Each structure stands twice: as structure tokens, then as C-alpha cells.
Amino acid sequence: MYRFDYTDLVGGMLLFFVGAGVSLVSIGNYPLGTLPRMGPGMFPAILGVVLAALGVSLALQALRRTGSRPDIRFFSPLFVLGGVTAFALTIVPFGLIPAIVAIVVISSLAELRIRPVSLVLLCLALCLMAPLVFVVGLGLPIPLIRWPF
Amino acid sequence: MEFLGNIGLGFSVALSLTNIFYCFLGALLGTLVGVIPGLGVLAAISMLFPLTFHLEPTTALIMLAGIWYGTTYGGSTASILLNLPGTPANAVTCLDGYPMAKQGRGGVALFMTTVASFFGASFGIILLTLFTPVIAEYALRFGSAEYFALMLMGLVAASTISEGSAIKGLAMVVLGIIIGLVGMDTQSATIRFSFGVLGLLEGVSLIALAMGIFGVAEIIMSVRRVKTADIDPETLKLSAIKPTRDDVRRSWFPMLRGASMGSFFGTLPGTGPSIAAFLSYAVEKRISKTPERFGKGAIEGIMAPEAANNAADQTAFIPTLSLGVPGSATMALMLGVLMIHGVAPGPNLISSQPELFWGLIMSFWVGNVILLLLNIPLIGVWVRMLTIPYHILFPSVLMFICIGAYTSGFSTLNIWMVTAFGTLGYLMRIFRFPGAPLLLGFVLGPLMEEHFRRAMVLSRGDFMTFFDRPISATIMALTGLVLIWSIWSSETVRKRRAPPEGEVALARDATDA
């Protein structure tokens, strides 16, 4: 238990900064226009102010109550998002099969234990299934394997 | 006679071979997604959406709608056998379904909830058929002020009524609208918030956003937490699914009451299948002569909520199809799918696209009959799905998400957007910000801006236009009441913290449907 609800305090402050940023960018870069003839900057500028105000009130409420520790994990997001990133990096230069292997192997590490047999089987199964569904079944033009060098 | 003609037109569309096939596929995939905990309906629809790119809009919608109501059928299975709701709408079913399973009556519970689901869905479809055209006709005279007011009410209600802090819900709606504004402004051709990325000219991809926030973030939260199920094979013997005469006698009125309540709450913005199921359970318990049986395997306690959530699934389409204003995140996704397929939603939809509208509605009958046939004999198969280990499931789902994102436009930008929204979704989980209002705001944002600007042009910049016109004034007043009520109730909730155990888990994620 903490004295304040730090989760909401930080969350509220983040909302405030995002809202303020949106408003400043809109006012600075896009014409505001007038109310009868609104320009592209008016609506986002209003929304930014509303978001910032909501952020401030959330942060103020957080000061009035105690809070518990937020549930933050490090390895799960790292490996899951890392797998998606690896897919994005490999799909165009290397083709579908290497991209599938990359995402499956990297995201499986999020379990924090490696099951070699089941991992290899899963890779094989998905490398067979995905081309069947997307390339053969739906006729999408994705190269299976490519060598860029 | 025109009415019968429309029904006939609908059936002729829904009963074409292609549409029956995709309806079947949707219902099947929906049941699968519903059975497996840790895979939500929003993630599933957005993941499978790229598969429907090459289809006719009607067929695509028939399949995606099948996924939506199929999950509610399937979701009760995990609730009953594992005490783990497959979808939030099935959470209440755990209360009496799991005790029934422990008493060896799991098969009966699965069978009876399928019947209740079918009953509720039929009730909902009939209302949908009768009322949608009437409401759409009435809505034809709405102007921009009315539309803006309606959308505002939908967003405020959806973000404040259901769960958690009203401020967080509203903040996420606003953030969603802002994300929706990224790209080219249609009226002035100004490019907003693209930060020099050319691919963002057309705006943020709805599919990448939904897959990131509901798919990837959900996986990050579930890894190493979802345990594979342990099921007693004895409960699944087919002989054990026959209900006693007493069960049947007790089920009629709860089903009817559940279906009526579900239909009502399904149409309202902000409430939906989860809240409908929860309230109908509360009502059954209150009016029962033997409330002490509830929580210990009372059949009424599973029949009413399962009829309610399926009825609500169907009637949720009423505002979406008649007004073009979705009441929940899933309906917003359906609306987004329509728009991506180039169909303009709104009250004109029924007259301009009668094949789509009537075909979709009549496909609900096809889909529900398919689900009835799928569920009862195949209960054993669905239950086996529960034993797929999560370490096999989640890399496969991630792979489908990535391929889906890449093939919707053949650009890696969409995959990067999935990464970005996965990160955002995970941050939102940490700060306990709800995801459903964000999606709703994202879809409605550009429409709201357009109507707001048009209303301002017509009234020469006078804000009072929203309060001068009777219909829009009424809607604005309702919106105000919802806001005041939500602030008041969040104050009282804080005063009596620590709700009774069990209800905490149910209230959590109630908006995710």
C-alpha cells in the first residue's frame, strides 16, 4: 500500500501532457478558423484541453486515496513486442517463412522457459498452415522465402 | 406485404451457398474464440477481418457478425466447466454453472445454456427485424445537430456507465477521437498529426489499433498466467446432458425475462450483453421463492443470463444499423468494417442497401440454427479446445495478427502500428484505462467532427443550436443526466469501498464486449 494512488497520479499526469501537447500542436500548426467556419485545428485543440482537464482531475483524485502497487512486467512485453517487431523487419526482405519462425521463437521466450520439441513442432505446423491459408487459400501474393543479398 | 417481401429478400441473400458457408465459418470461429479464455471477441474480429477483404461487404459482415454472437454461445462453456468466463458477458454464468458442473450436471448446464442462448437470440432477432426500419425512418429527419448529440450521448454513456472510473473512460474516449483525427482532414485537406509519415495520410488503421490494444496487450497480460484446464471427462458423457423435467419447468420464465431484459439493454449505449446478463441474474435471484439455491447450481441462474446476453448481442445491431451510431466497441468495429468496405452507415442504409441489411439480419437465423446444431452434439470437441496449452496458442495468435496486419495494405507500416498500439494497450492496462471507449471514440471521432462543423456552419457558430432543436435538446439533456449520475455514483462507490467478494471479478472488464 502507498500513501497516494501513484498509478492514477502518473496516469493523470501523462493524460495532461498528451492533451496539452495535442492542443499546442493544433494551435501552432493548423488554422483554427472561427466557430461558424471551423478550421482543421479547432476540434483537436478543444479535445486536447478536455483531455488535459480530465488528466488533472484524475491526478487530483489520486492524491485523496491510497493505492496499491501497479502490475508491471518486463519480460512479457519485451518478448511479445519484440516478436512483432522481428516479423515487421523480416517479412519484406526475407519472406513469410523466416518471419513466422522469427515471431514464434522470439515471442515464445515470453514464457521464460524453452520447450525445444514443442517449439520446433509449432514452427513447422504454422509454416505449413499459414501459406496454405493465406497464399494458397486466399491467393495473397506473399513470397514464402526470399534472399536479399 | 412489403415487409414479407423484405424478409424474402433477406432469406434469398442469407441462404445463398457462399453466405451460408461464411456464416458457418463465422459461427464456428466465434464459438472457438468464446470457448478459449484469453482471446477476446474484439481481437478475434480484427484478426480475422483481413480474411474478408476480398468478399462482398454483405458476406464479410455476415461472417464477422457470426463471430460476435458465436462467442457468447461458446463463452458459457468455459464459465460452466472451469469457473473462468470465456467472455465478460458469460461471467455471471459461472455463479451457478460451475456448481452444477461440480455436482456432475455440467452436461445438463451446457445443453440448457445452448437452448437459452438460442431462445434469447431469436427474441432479439425478432425485435431487430421489427424496430430497425421504423427507427431508421424516424431518423431520416435528423440533422447534424441531432447526430452530434446522439454520438456524444453514446460515447458518454459507453464510457461512464459500465465500470471503473468515469474520468478514465471519458479520457479514453477523447484520446480515441484524437487518434481518429490523424491523417488528411476531409474538409480542408490539411494533414494532421502524421509527423511526416506518408502512410498516415489515410489515417490510423482500425484493424491495427484493435489488434494492438485488444490482441497484443491481452497476450502480454496473459502469458505465464493462463493455466491449462483440467476437466473431468465424466461430466462430458452424452448421457449426462439430458435435463430433468424439473429443470425444464423452472427454465421457461427466467428465459423469457432474461430475453426481454437483454433486448432492452442491448439497444442502449453503454450497457450491453455483460450488464444485461448481470442484471437479469440479480432479478431472478430477487423474485425467486428460493433465493438460497442461487450460487449452488440453480438452473434459473444460468438460463436467465444466457438468454439475456444473446438477446443483447442481437439488439445491439438496432442503433448501429438504423442510426449508424454504435453502442459498444464491437459494434463500432462492425461499423468500421462497413466503412472500410465502402458502405456509408446511417438511416439510409436500409433503403440504399436492402440486400445487405435484410440479408445480414436473416443470416442471424441461419447462424443461430448453425450454432444450435454445432453446440449440442459437439460439446465434447469444444471442451477439448480448453486443453490447448497457452504456450502453443499465443505465438499462433500473434502470427495471425502480424500476417493480417501486413496483408491489409501490404505495408509493414501496419505491423509497426500494431507494435505501437500493443505498447499503448499494455500501458493502458498498467494504468487501468479501459480500451473499449478508446475504440468507440476512434471510430466515431471523424464523424463527430464532421457533424459538429456542419452544425456550426448551419447555426452560424451558435452553440445553442444543440439545445434549440427539440430532439437534440432531449438527447443533450439525457447526456447531462448520465454524466451527473455517473459522477454521483462514483462518489458513493468510493464511500463504501470493498464490494463483496466475487463481484469484483465480474465487474472487471465488463465493457470489453
Disruptive mutation site among A26, A80, A108 for chain B (greatest number of B CBs within 10 Å): A80
d(CA A144, CA A95): 5
What pLDDT is attached to residue B110? 85
What pLDDT is attached to residue B375? 79
Picking from B101, B73, B420, B58, the residue whose alpha carbon sits closest to that of residue B240 is B101
What pLDDT is attached to residue B230? 65
Mean pLDDT of all residues in A82-108:
95
What pLDDT is attached to residue B485? 84
Mean pLDDT of chain A: 90
Query: Between B470-495 and B144-160, two packed helices, what is the crossing angle to 10 degrees?
Result: 10
d(CA A47, CA B444): 14
Residues of A in contact with B463 (CB under 8 A): 35
What pLDDT is attached to residue B492? 65
Cβ contacts from A onto B, under 8 A? 170
The alpha carbon dihedral of A13, A17, A19, A23 has a sign of positive
Closest partner residue to A122 (CB to CB) among B216, B392, B432 is B392
Across the interface, whether the CB atoms of B167 and A122 are under 8 A apart is answered no
ipTM confidence: 0.93
Residues of chain B below pLDDT 70: 1, 37-38, 162-164, 227-240, 490-513
- List the single residue in B with minimal CA-CA distance to A23: B178
What pLDDT is attached to residue B124? 94
Residue A63 has what DSSP assignment?
T
What pLDDT is attached to residue B315? 93
Closest partner residue to B181 (CB to CB) among A43, A77, A130 is A43
pLDDT over 90 (residue A49)? yes
Closest partner residue to B412 (CB to CB) among A83, A88, A110 is A88
Residues of A in contact with B415 (CB under 8 A): 84, 87-88, 91
Q: Which residues contact B329 (CB under 8 A, 6 or more apart)?
A: B42, B158, B435, B436, B437, B439, B440, B511, B512, B513
**Any bridge partners for residue B191, and if so which?**
B184
Across the interface, whether the CB atoms of B431 and A11 are under 8 A apart is answered yes
What pLDDT is attached to residue A57? 92
Counting every residue, how long is chain A?
Answer: 149
What pLDDT is attached to residue B157? 85
DSSP secondary structure string, B364-406?
HHHHHHHHHHHHTTTHHHHHHHTTS-HHHHHHHHHHHHHHHHH
Residues of A in contact with B192 (CB under 8 A): 26, 30, 40, 44
What pLDDT is attached to residue B511? 38
Q: What are the pLDDT digits (tens) for B211-239?
A: 899 889 988 988 887 766 666 665 555 55
